[in-house]
Amino acid sequence: MKYITTAVYNIDSIPEYTSVGMVDDIPFVYFDSNIKRMIPKTEWIKQNEGADYWDRESQKESGGVPVLKTNIQTGMQRFNQTAGVHTAQRTYGCHWDDQTGETNAFHQESYDGEDFVSLDWKELRFISPVQQGIPTVQKWNNDKSLLDNHKNYLSTVCIDWLKKYVQYGKSSLEKTVSPRVSLLQKDPSSPVACHATGFYPSGVTINWQKNGQDHDEDVDLGGIVPNEDGTFQVKSTLNVKPEEWKKNKYECVVEHKSRTTRSVLTEDEIKTNYGSNSSESLPIIPIIIGAIAAVLLVVIGVAGYCVYQKRKGFKPVSGKFLTISF
């Protein structure tokens, strides 16, 4: 489980603050500074949590808005910046292996898309790869209550909530959907893309082979991005000329837990958007939707039942992560 909170500066077209909560890379809650409410993104969280939960999560996220905005100002000062577009992002969460019981945790701060400060979970101390992050590292490492809060939240509270969320969404989170694989080309001289979509869970490898051997040269691998229906897609582009792949055997190999798919690169297998057969045209819309969803994620993780949870001693999700500044 992870939460990704993002603040932006000098961009009017998107909310200045967004937060996404994800379980197994599936967004299940969402907040932004325009709607000012945490809202459900899956049926399983919507059906299992009531008004108290949404009020509490909305209040927690609202408290994070001014903090990340302040972090951008601090970042600009430390990097001697006075204008331009800037971002601050906080990613934190925990892992739990339901087979072995093994757990892990993480907390990462980024500024303008680059690593700024991160938590060394084993040592329980913060580190920075850049000089501008050292003052933050010193500030946070000298705050015992902050470190204790991190340890408690990441090792206990986060894991407890993750287990509960997994139980809520068990039927959908444990599903397996095989990828649909297509070879795509915009025009006869363009590179060929191997596009896998509609698969779940998100773990997948996509590789090219030439005459039975792995071929890593002239290959651009895109990131895994979500589809609107909760499945995922990924694309790998082979940048070789048609005369090259026509005289050799190129294959796209997609490996997913559900199955392995091999697609041999031939003219007959390629789907294009320059042919007369509309059924063979490129699936442009799903690709665009997925890409937009990915950008929004980077720029951007019943009342009676809640009463029962409180009586059982179940702790609410900590909001202290969102109130620590650079």
**Does the global pTM surpass 0.95?**
no
**Signed CA dihedral, 154, 157, 159, 161: sign only:** negative
Beta strand segments in 249-290, E: 250-256, 259-264, 270-272
For the segment 103-157, what is each residue's pLDDT rounded down to a tens digit? Answer: 999 999 999 999 999 999 999 999 999 999 999 999 999 999 999 999 999 999 9
Describe the chain by its helix, strand, coil percentages, rounded to 5: 35, 35, 35
In the chain the domains, ranked by start, together with CATH numbers, are 2-172+297-323 (3.30.500.10), 180-294 (2.60.40.10)
Token pair belonging to 299: 């720029």
Contact 317, 57 (CB under 8 A): yes
Alpha-carbon distance 49 to 6, whole Å? Answer: 25
Say if residue 209 is exposed, middle or buried (CB neighbours under 10 Å; 0-12, 13-18, 19+): middle
Q: What is the CA 65 to chain-centroid distance, rounded?
A: 20
For the segment 163-204, what is each residue's pLDDT rounded down to a tens digit? Answer: 999 999 988 888 899 999 999 998 888 899 999 999 998 889
Mean pLDDT lowest for which of 22-36, 135-149, 229-243, 294-308?
294-308
Residue 12's pLDDT is what?
A: 85
Residue 25's pLDDT is what?
A: 85
Sorting pLDDT into bands at 50, 70 and 90, what band is 322? low
Relative to beta strand 259-264, strand 219-221 is: unpaired
Alpha-carbon distance 183 to 269, whole Å? Answer: 7
The label of the residue with tokens 């590789």 reads: 207
Relative to beta strand 270-272, strand 180-185 is: parallel
